Structure 1
């Protein structure tokens, strides 16, 4: 089969490789489309301890063509979106059966765009930050794949005010299409907030942004941390101050959840997919690439040129 391999020299190469066979608890998915996500950038940068060469790609959509021991053969032919730890940029990918989420309600392109970003955004809003009707929400990286979905999930949860922060004016303009009441540029944050506080803040940035977010938490507010786009340097958190104000800093790691409680992750994905299927939430797929152009797709994402979600056509 054809697959894209990331080599030790950080280059992506389209090559021929053996078709994988599902082991116990696994399914093999004939991939139609694969989603491009930030994990691909981190993998190339060496942040994941994955031996090379390996086939990257962490989200794939297609149909189950084989099942391993312990998996119901009735799933053969089922259309799924697969949340995986690699192997998505190939004609066939393996996935844990629990994380091959049924996706008959959407087309395979949308399922690939759904990927890890939609369940991440859904969990951040509904489980981690616990957004409820009447809450105010601040979302960083507002124009990214998670940010554009998080704003829509916040609206679906009944948030009364949703504010975003994006990298520049152009990206802020793009983010406004997804239900934000106001979008600031990174240069305007936090001064333009004029002391406004929020019940929930989503922070994938880190560093000085994380410190500023703590100052903009309302009493009983929740700061949901799920990445370090700016820096991996640690941030000191005044726990006693949080305690006095009933505030919380909560982290979310979807990759860890996939290993410790995949059924819970899949359940959140199913609930998020239902909102996509009924039109309540829109996944904005802005670019499509061929399998041979995976490296270009990841370059565009890493450089900030990508808006919304990109997918790779495999079949």
Structure 2
């Protein structure tokens, strides 16, 4: 098969590799589209070490072409969205069967964009923070795939007010389409909030932003940390101080959940997928790239130049390039879900 590899010189190349075969409890998916997500930037920047050459890509859509032992053979031919731990930027990717979800007639382009971000947003709102009727919610990264989906899920959960934080005026204008009641620019946070307090804060940023988010919690409020886009500066929280107002600092790690309790992640993903197919939420695919432009896609995501979701069109587009490496490891566990 053909695949994109990230080589030891930090360059993406397209090469020929052996097609992976599914093991017990796994399926092989012939990839139509693959998502581009924050985990791709982290691997490219060396924030999470992986063996190189490495086939990147953590989310894909396509058709199941083979099943491993213990998987119903009737799934061959099924149209799915698949959550991977690497290897999705290739013609075929192997994933746990439980994390390959049937999508029915949903467009495969949208199914790839569903990826890790939509189940993450669902879990943040429904499983971890448990947003209640009338509650006020603050969402950082409002123009991203997770932030936009979280705003929609929070509205469906009955949130009374939803405030977003975005990195630029352009991104704020885009985020407004997801139903936020108000959007602040990053430089306006937290001063722009005034005395407003929130029942739920969703924070993928960390550092001073997380510290300010804790201060912005109302009594019994919950801050959910699910990333550290702003760096890994320690955030100090006094448990006794939090206890006095009933405030909570919580965390969510979708990649860990996929390895410890994949059935829980799959359940949330199915619930989110049902809402998507019913037209109750939407996913915006705002950029589509050819495989040869993966480096551009990752760079634009890192720089905040993209809104919503970016995808690669894989089917029929992976053309080999000369002088490519061989022997890439397509399936090590790597960070995903951001």
1:86 is displaced (CA, Å) by: 0.3
Q: Which residue of 1 aligns with 2:99?
A: 99
1:60 aligns with 2:73: no
Secondary structure of residue in 2 paired with 1:77: coil
Could you state the TM-score of these two structures normalised by the residue count of structure 2?
A: 0.92
Task: Show CA shifts across 1:135-188 (max 9, x none).
Answer: 110000111111111100111111010000001111111111110000000111
Q: Which residue of 1 aligns with 2:162?
A: 162
1:104 is displaced (CA, Å) by: 1.3
- CA distance in 2: counterparts of 1:227 and 1:313, whole angstroms: 27
- CA distance in 1: counterparts of 2:202 and 2:59, whole angstroms: 23
CA RMSD of aligned residues (A): 0.8
- CA distance in 2: counterparts of 1:132 and 1:111, whole angstroms: 28
Bigger relative contact order, structure 1 or 2, given CA contacts below 8 A and separation 6+?
2
Task: Show CA shifts across 1:18-57 (max 9, x none).
Answer: 1111111110000000000000000111222321111000
1:120 aligns with 2:133: no
Q: Which residue of 2 aligns with 1:137?
A: 137
Q: Which residue of 2 aligns with 1:180?
A: 180
Please give the residue correspondences for 1:286-297 in structure 2 after superposition, counting only pairs within 5 Å: 286-297=286-297
Secondary structure of residue in 1 paired with 2:94: strand
1:278 is displaced (CA, Å) by: 1.0
- CA distance in 1: counterparts of 2:50 and 2:81, whole angstroms: 23
Q: Which residue of 2 aligns with 1:251?
A: 251
Could you state the TM-score of these two structures normalised by the residue count of structure 1?
A: 0.99
- CA distance in 2: counterparts of 1:62 and 1:244, whole angstroms: 51
Task: Show CA shifts across 1:55-89 (max 9, x none).
Answer: 00000000100001111101111111110100000
- CA distance in 2: counterparts of 1:296 and 1:201, whole angstroms: 32
1:295 is displaced (CA, Å) by: 1.3
Secondary structure of residue in 2 paired with 1:304: coil
- CA distance in 1: counterparts of 2:48 and 2:27, whole angstroms: 24
Task: Show CA shifts across 1:249-286 (max 9, x none).
Answer: 11000000000000000000000011111111110100
- CA distance in 2: counterparts of 1:219 and 1:106, whole angstroms: 42
Q: Which residue of 1 aligns with 2:223?
A: 223
- CA distance in 2: counterparts of 1:48 and 1:27, whole angstroms: 26
Q: Which residue of 2 aligns with 1:36?
A: 36
Q: Which residue of 2 aligns with 1:278?
A: 278
1:213 aligns with 2:213: yes
1:105 is displaced (CA, Å) by: 4.4
Secondary structure of residue in 2 paired with 1:187: helix
- CA distance in 1: counterparts of 2:268 and 2:122, whole angstroms: 7
- CA distance in 2: counterparts of 1:133 and 1:105, whole angstroms: 33
- CA distance in 2: counterparts of 1:51 and 1:80, whole angstroms: 28
- CA distance in 2: counterparts of 1:213 and 1:303, whole angstroms: 24
- CA distance in 2: counterparts of 1:166 and 1:105, whole angstroms: 33
- CA distance in 2: counterparts of 1:36 and 1:170, whole angstroms: 21
Gaps of 5+ in 1: none
Hey, which bits of structure 1, 4+ residues long, moved more than 3 A? none
1:264 aligns with 2:284: no
- CA distance in 2: counterparts of 1:26 and 1:110, whole angstroms: 23
Secondary structure of residue in 1 paired with 2:188: coil
